[in-house]
Amino acid sequence: MNSNIFRKIMVATDGSELVRKAVDSAIETAKLCKAKLYAIYVISLGGYSITPSRDTEWEKAMKEQLIIEGKEATTYVENTGRAANIEVESVILEGSPVDEIVDFAEKNDIDLIVMGTHGKNVIQRFLIGSVTENVVSRSKKVVLVVRGDTIEKGK
């Protein structure tokens, strides 16, 4: 079965095992639709901002490490996608993950955003929020949420 409902699909990845289900779903959907897949990784230094005890060298080193992690995460998507004969383009962005994902989708005419969820329980979501939930609420694009395994079984 082939469909062309989605021409451009974006998968947001953080490189975690839990997000690999979302990557697999994005690849399968791209294959069925013969769509191009964009692997997106967002570097967010918000939690690593400079304080009086940290200097710009520390922030530079942290950013370099996050770029390495981003390249590893998007390379996984590239390799898995290409093995399935899917065209994949990797993009590493910097800023607020929600803003960057929503903006990239709008600016690049993305038809479908695929994201994983870590299966956090209600208290965890309340305390730390959810990038996926915020993208769903802010995006004008179709968002496919692929649930990963829950952190605590049964929650």
Tens digit of each residue's pLDDT, the chain (155 residues): 566 789 999 999 998 888 899 999 999 999 999 999 999 999 987 755 555 555 678 888 889 999 999 999 999 999 999 999 999 999 999 999 999 999 999 999 999 999 988 655 555 555 445 888 899 999 999 999 998 765 444 44
How is domain 8-147 classified at the CATH fold level?
Rossmann fold (3.40.50)
Three-state secondary structure string covering the chain: CCCCCCCEEEEECCCCCCCHHHHHHHHHHHHHHCCEEEEEEEECCHHHCCCCCCCHHHHHHHHHHHHHHHHHHHHHHHHHHHHCCCCEEEEEEECCHHHHHHHHHHHCCCCEEEEEECCCCHHHHHHHCCHHHHHHHHCCCEEEEEECCCCCCCC
The pTM of the full predicted model, rounded to 2 decimals, is 0.84
